[in-house]
Structure formats: C-alpha cells, structure tokens
Amino acid sequence: MHNTTNHHHLNHQQQQQQQQTQNSHTSTSRSSDSGAGEPCATGNKWASRLLRECARAISDKDSSKIHHLLWMLNELASPYGDCDQKLASYFLKALFCKATESGQRCYKTLTSVAEKSHSFDSARKLILKFQEVSPWTTFGHVAANGALLEALDGEPKLHIIDISNTLCTQWPTLLEALATRNDDTPHLKLTVVVTANIVRSVMKEISQRMEKFARLMGVPFEFNVISGLNRLGELTKEALGVVEDEAVAINCIGALGRLAVEERGGVIQMFQSLGPKVVTVVEEEADFSSTPYDFVRCFEECLRFYTLYFEMLDESFAPTSNEKLMLERECSRSIVRVLACDEELEDYSTSGGECERRERGSQWSDRLKEVFSPIGFSDDVVDDVKALLKRYRAGWALAQPHQDETGLYLTWKEEAVVWASAWKP
C-alpha cells in the first residue's frame, strides 16, 4: 500500500489553487432581491471559501471585510443543516469569540454545560454508537492492542497505564485475548488516567463493569483510576504506582495531544523512566501546533481537519442522529479552544481544560525517537486492522509508512486521519 501522507499534501495544494481560480463570488449585495445575491450559498464548499477569506481578513485586520463576511456566515450557517452550514456555524462561533475576545469564557461555558448534561449512560451510548458506525477510535484500539499483546507475551504480571478518554472500550477485547491465548493467564493491573471532567464522573461505573468483566473472563485483575489531575502534565511517576516486577505498557490514545506543548517532551521522558516494555501512541492526524502565531495557517489546517471529520460524521450517521450532534458539539468546543483561546498559550496552569494542539504522526515520531525506537506492526496486527475496516462502510483504508516513517495511518477518502504507532525503549 502506498503512503498517502505526501500524496495528501499535494492534493491539498492543488485543491487550493483550483478553488482560487474558481472563486468568482464577490457578493457585496446585501439586498434580498436578486437571486444572484447569494452565489456562494448554492455552490459547493461555500463555507470553506467564506471562512478562509474571513480568517485572512482577520489576519489583515480588514475590519469592514471581517464584518461583511461574518454577516454572510451568520446568515447562511446552521448547526442543524448540511456539512457546509455546520462548518460555517461552528467556525463562525470561534471567529466571533476571537473577535470579541471571549474565547476563554466561551470555552469554559461550553465545557461546563457539556459536563452537566452527560451521564454514564449518555457517554457510553455515544461512544458505542460512534464505534459502531466509524472506525475512528476502534482503529487505534485494535492496532494498539495488537502491539501490546505481542510485546507483553509471556509476561506474568502486566501493568497497563491507559491514558485515554475512550471509557475503557479498548480493554474488553484485550482481556479476552489474554484469557484465551495460552494456559497461563497473566495478572493484569490497569491504571487509567483521566482528565476530561466528563469522563471523570463516569469512571466509577466503568470500574465496576471492568472488574466484573475481568472476573467473567477469568483474568486476575486490578483496576486503578487516577482522576485528580487538573492537567495531564501533572502526572508523576509516583502517582502511577509502578512496581518492580511488572511489565509496564503505556497506552496513549489522543493523550499526548492534550498535553501543553511545552510539557510534551518532559512527559515522554517520564514515560521512559517507567521502563516500559512498550508504548502505544494513537493521535489524530492534524497539526495545530507548529504555527500557533500564524493565524491563517492554523485556521486553514483546523478547517481542513474538521471538514474531513464532519463529512465523515455526516456519512457515518443518520441525518437526525443525536449522537452525531453531540460529537459535532465536542468539535465545536475544540475549535473554539484552538482558534479563540490562543492568548492563553503561555499560561497553561490557569487556563484549565485540555490542550487541543494536535501534532501529526511525523511530528510525534520526532519527539518519541529521542527516547524510544519504533516497533513496526506485525503482519498479524495489520491483518486484524484490515479485518476491522471491512466491517464499516466504504471509504476507510489503511496506509503504511514509507521508509523513514513509523506507524499506521487510518485514511478516510484517502486522507490520513488517525495515526497509530508502537515504541520500545
């Protein structure tokens, strides 16, 4: 299989050029009279065009243009319409917050409302439904589990440190594999580190269920939750309770991306100090961190990624799905965070919540290579992933890296969207 990452960059540039030449709308008409007053409203990808123009106008501080574009977006946007309308709506919210310097407050309000309205049932329902219609999260789970099982084979005492917010949906399959693979079922200690408040409140239920499941599987099991952290960066070696004779594995699903940028190196070092046998890292393939001060570039990358995500959601769920709506709202919070909260870049300790500054697989690789070496995924694991993808609708594929790249990519319509990798000391 060919590597799509480079291919993807080229595509993106070509697309940009195409759009610029096609971009004929300059509607300055504010009247509702002529049918020609809204050329952008009927074409394809109007939201992307308008949003990018608006970002540029903000960067250029062109006040009247900003106003005009925000007005158009406001009129055309809707969080309940088609993909363009949704993107317009959520990005408009972020742009409005940026223009009124209310990003931080907005983010706080949005997250606290979301936390209040989630329950164990709704959170569980949401993630299970998402996993049913899309391999977005299950891809990482299957790849990571495969690497974990292979690296920990033969070890009698396992300690898996799970840093994720996927509500332990990864572990039942692993527990099953441990129970059935050979005669000596190892002892598994699972330490789950959660930071999202939404997840915190449901961990009690989850731990009960996990313990019950492990008993059913006949796997000697210990379950710990570390949930007192304000931010992931506060995580210490001591808090994790690693013991001498354990084989340690560290599983990070979307975790590194939630660390404050300046803390990432330190945390990776801390992982090394735990002496793990294997570290699995799964991250969404987007770069919101390398150009934080270049608003337009950051904006365009954000738009690129979320356009993919929203389109994926649209094609995976039914049109009137409440689960889809909740996932979209989650994105809305992230978008506000990335685009309208940049004034908090320096002072992470007070801003609370989670960072949304994602990095691409290649960037993570560079960081991880400083203390770890990559493990390739075995053919068996790759086959497992392929089998997984077959269970979903068309559009999903697997991309394997070229020579100097590591990990596996999940692709949606040939765009890399999720990166999974495994490392050893």
Tell me: does residue 30 bind another protein (CB under 8 A).
yes
Tell me: does residue 126 bind another protein (CB under 8 A).
no
SS3 of 423, please?
Answer: strand
Determine the Cα–Cα distance for residues 408 and 385; give it in Å rounded to an integer. 10
CA distances to 52, 142, 401, 415 from 383, rounded to whole Å, are 40, 10, 16, 20
Using the minimum distance from each CB to another protein, give the nearer residue, 92 or 355. Answer: 92
CA distances to 17, 21, 123, 411, 416 from 11, rounded to whole Å, are 10, 16, 36, 14, 12
Using the minimum distance from each CB to another protein, give the nearer residue, 8 or 98. Answer: 98
Are the CB atoms for 186 and 158 separated by under 8 Å?
yes
Tell me: does residue 96 bind another protein (CB under 8 A).
yes
Tell me: does residue 101 bind another protein (CB under 8 A).
no
Tell me: does residue 92 bind another protein (CB under 8 A).
yes
Tell me: does residue 105 bind another protein (CB under 8 A).
yes
CB of 319 to another protein, least distance (A): 5
Q: How many residues of this chain bind another protein (CB under 8 A)?
A: 40
CB atoms within 10 A of CB 349: 11
Using the minimum distance from each CB to another protein, give the nearer residue, 325 or 345. Answer: 325
283-317 burial code (b ≥16 CB/10 A, e <16): bbbbbbbeeeeebeebbbbbbbbbbbbbbbbbebb
Determine the Cα–Cα distance for residues 40 and 133; give it in Å rounded to an integer. 32
Lookup result for tokens 């050329």: 39
Residues in CB range of 413: below 8 A, 6 or more apart: 308, 311, 395
Tell me: does residue 119 bind another protein (CB under 8 A).
no
CB of 42 to another protein, least distance (A): 6
Stretch that binds another protein, among 7-15, 122-130, 159-167, 312-320 (CB under 8 A): 312-320
CB of 96 to another protein, least distance (A): 6
Selected from 28, 238, 293, 319, the binder of another protein by CB under 8 A is: 319
Q: Which residues are at the interface with another protein (CB under 8 A)?
A: 30-38, 41-42, 67, 70-72, 74-76, 78-81, 92, 96, 100, 102, 105-106, 109-110, 113-114, 117, 318-322, 325, 329
